[in-house]
Structure 1
Amino acid sequence: MGPQVALLVAALAGCLLPARSCVTCDRRVVAALDALEKEYLPTHLAPERHREVMEKIRQTVRNFRDLPDLEDTFMGVIDEATMETSVLSFLRSVRLIRNSDIADDTFVNEFSWMLTLEKAAFRGYVTRFQREDFCPNKCGTMLQLLIWCSNCKKQLHVCRKSRDCGVLQINVHETEDLILDCELDWHKLSQGLTYYSFYRVWGSDSETLVSEGKRPTLIKRLVRPEDAGNYRCELGTERSGPATVIRFEVTVLPQRIFGEITSKSSTFVTQPSTTETQSPTIRTQSPVIGTEAEEIWGDLSPTLRPSECSNPKNVRTGLLIGLLLWSFLLLILGFVTGILCFRSGMVIDSIKSRYHTEMAAAPRDQAPESQLSPSHVLKVPKDKDTGPSHK
């Protein structure tokens, strides 16, 4: 509540100066209002109403600073992002009114309604800023650049909170890389920051500077057991002392001996090497014993994909396709057989017809033996020598 009270007092003091709206601090808004008065009104409004209407418009814009229905008291300050959003919205609405080419009372009513909507939108922008973007640091000291609507000046506001941002527990295996990250989300939004300094803490009153620079991380390659201990990261500012202080408690675990499964796929990764090898399918001579072996093979078992044939849907689909293929094949065979049978009947009838034709055309003397008369049969004399002898 302290920073808000200070800003409120400053805003009340600024009321002694000529009151100004936040959006009128931007030159683009002032230029848009001047162009409206000098270019648009003379051609779309009666001359005797120019001054009255323009004064009402300017007074309404100045009243953007009066937000009595705001949930939190408006402190009279906004950041550059909120200012840009409000200005662009205002300029867009003015451009739409001018492009509509309306005049006289229609113009006055439409412009008055537009200003009402823009003031409500500005109230929403301010509410979001005061809830989320005003002093967003949860710890440490942040220098936030704000715009004071009373005089349109940009000034640094110090958001002071506890510099101690807590302790982080870091576990790392021997011969692997130790990474200490000191950056917080609001560091990139803060002004006047200097360097990140990492210290190795040896005791209550002893520490050694390890590194210093713009980078928010400390990377130590191939850590050893003697690298375990306490570390401290400090982010400095130009004039307000340390912005944040983060402490790390590093524990160096024994070196990884066995392969680690990186995912559900059947691959092993050995540290610190990044080479991946295919997991063996033979379980003999495994270096893993007892529970560890069961865990590894238990993790590997889900990677075996079941055969697609085991899926009942696939089985039914295959049977149906096979049945259709066989039915189609049998249909073709039946069709071919029918054609062949029909063709064979025609061939037989043709042969019979040709045979009868040839028989009718043959001469009489060539009649078959069965048609010869008995008188034409030659009698062969019996051989006297071949028969039996009679005494």
Structure 2
Amino acid sequence: MPWQVFWLIVHIITGSQGCLKCSNDAMAIKQDFRNRFLAKKLRKEPDLKKKLQHLLDNVVDGLSHTQIHPKKYMAMIDELTLGKIAAHFKRFVNRITENDFKDEQLFNEVTWGLQKLVTAFEQIMPQFTKLVCSNECGTLVYSFINCFSCKTHTYTCTKGVYCGERRLQVEMDEDLILDCALRWHKIYHGVKQYSFFRMVNGKPELMASGADSFLVKKEMNHNDTGRYRCEMLDPKGRPASRLDFQVIVLTPVGKTTWFTRPHLTPLEGPFALGVSSREPPPQEDWTAWIVIAVTGGLLSLVVIAFVLYYRRKNKKDEKEQEQEEEGENEEKGEDEEKGENEEKGENEGKGENEEKGENEESESES
């Protein structure tokens, strides 16, 4: 007998943990795997098929009986944890069906996969048990599934509504963020609503109410110093938790303001942002400065390129003009030289004619 089978039998006899049978999706996958896949793959090995089917039934049914800890595991599970166990089971089945395991190898792979399923639950289940009555204050209402009947129930754990006071300091003209969320609010069953108040003469004045667990109050000034309060309300409108804030507005010291804050028309009531209450306060936005710097750099490059192009063009034009002037001067010099030569020739011809005339005249006189 393989050691994996021995290990599973021990767990089945002593009992395992979980409520996998309460997941309809997991049970549909199990029935298809048991009655179609195993029957087809082991049709020539009927004894091995019955053994695997029996082992699969016992492990899945046995994931409901034994507690992880006598004071923590109470045969119940929440939907989130049940979904995680069902996902492990689906991956186990997919791994078997997508590979061509046969006979003994198939048997070993199935028993090993069931062992991994039980181990996964042993690691996941404590995460759920830690949530049971995990509220330090207030009234926690959570739902759970009974592992035997698979019916959903709700349970209330009350530890007093008041959850203490927080001291906050904010500089003048900055934004105030009141965060009302507590760790156990995320597992609270039912619709939650948050209400924010300003305490005036010991009486609460409503500022805002809605599904957001935080409030942003814009541009604080010294008149906003004081006490604030937030309440988380249950579906019936009753306070499930209450948190007070003592807010002090400080005068900024040594702070340089490069640009004056633009005048904005005040909105009626507070302004709540639709982001997670776990996010840090908004930071300064340098996008405008980046855009200005990039735009200025591009304009500078364009201007420099235009100046260089213009200067280069002027030099080229000047050079061409000089070459043209030199050509004109050379042509003019040639014309003048030619004229002088022609004039000299004319003078020489005229002199010869005059000399010839004189000779003829002297001959006639003779």
Which of 184, 204, 210 does residue 213 from structure 1 map onto? Answer: 210
Give the number of the structure whose alpha-carbon radius of gyration is greater: 1
Correspondence for 1:124:
123
Task: Specify the alignment match of 1:252 in structure 2.
Answer: 249
Unaligned runs of 5+ in 2: 1-15, 263-366
Code of the residue aligned with 1:192 in structure 2: it is G
Report if the CA contact (8 A) 2:232-2:242 is conserved. yes
Distance in 2, Cα, partners of 1:175 & 1:233: 22
Report if aligned partners of 1:193, 1:235 keep a CA contact under 8 Å in 2. no
Q: Secondary structure at the match of 1:58?
A: helix
Q: TM-score, normalised by structure 1?
A: 0.54
Q: Distance in 2 between matches of 1:221 and 1:21?
A: 50
Match in the other structure for 2:99: 100
Does residue 86 of the first structure (1) align with residue 101 of the second (2)?
no
Q: Distance in 1 between matches of 2:232 and 2:24?
A: 37
Displacement of 1:160: 2.6
Conserved 8 A contact 1:71-1:127: no
Aligned residues: 245
Match of 1:115 in 2: 114
Cα offset for 1:112?
2.2
Aligned counterparts of 1:186 and 1:73: Cα–Cα separation in 2: 18
Question: CA, structure 1 residues 56+176, in 2 after alignment: closer, same or farther (shift >3 Å)?
Answer: closer
Change over 3 Å in CA distance of 1:202–1:50 after alignment to 2: same
Contact 2:17 2:68 in 1 (8 A): no
Query: What are the residue-to-residue correspondences of 1:60-75 with 2, within 5 Å?
Result: 60-67=59-66, 70=69, 73-75=72-74
Check if 1:57 corresponds to 2:42.
Answer: no
Residues 38-65 of structure 1: per-residue CA shift (max 9 Å, x gap): 2223333333554454223201221122
User: In structure 1, how many angstroms separate the alpha carbons of the residues matched to 2:260 and 2:249?
Assistant: 14
Write the distance in 1 (CA, Å) between the matches of 2:27 and 2:105: 23
Change (3 A) 1:95 1:180: closer
**Are 1:163 and 1:245, in contact at CA under 8 Å, matched by a contact in 2?**
yes
Amino acid in structure 2 at the alignment position of 1:158:
T
Q: Which residue of 2 aligns with 1:321?
A: none
Q: CA deviation at 1:66?
A: 3.6
- Give 1:142's aligned residue: 140
Matches for 1:175-324 after TM superposition, within 5 Å: 175-204=173-202, 206-239=203-236, 241-253=238-250, 255-256=251-252, 259-260=254-255, 268-269=256-257, 273=261
Deviations 1:109-153 (A, max 9, x none): 43223212211111111023223x444433322322322222223
Shift of 1:175: 4.3
Cα separation, partners in 2 of 1:164 and 1:102, compared to 1, 3 Å: same
Residue 195 of structure 1 deviates from its aligned partner by: 2.6
Amino acid at match of 2:166: L
Structure 2 distance, partners of 1:183, 1:158, is 19
Question: Which amino acid counterpart does residue 149 of structure 1 have in structure 2?
Answer: C
In 2, distance between residues paired with 1:186 and 1:20? 25
What amino acid sits opposite 1:162 in the alignment? G
Q: Name 2:342's counterpart in structure 1.
A: none
Gap change, CA 1:68 and 1:210, over 3 Å in 2? closer
Mapped contact 1:177–1:222 kept (Cα < 8 A):
yes
Equivalent pair of 1:176/1:272 in contact (CA under 8 Å): no
Is residue 259–residue 271 contact of structure 1 (8 Å, CA) maintained in 2? Answer: no
Partner of 1:350: none
Q: TM-score of the superposition, structure 2-length normalised?
A: 0.58
Shift of 1:251: 2.1
Which residues of structure 1 form unaligned runs of 5+?
1-18, 261-267, 275-391
8 Å Cα contact 1:235/1:242 also seen in 2: yes
Shift of 1:167: 0.6
- The residue matched to 1:150 in structure 2 has which SS? coil
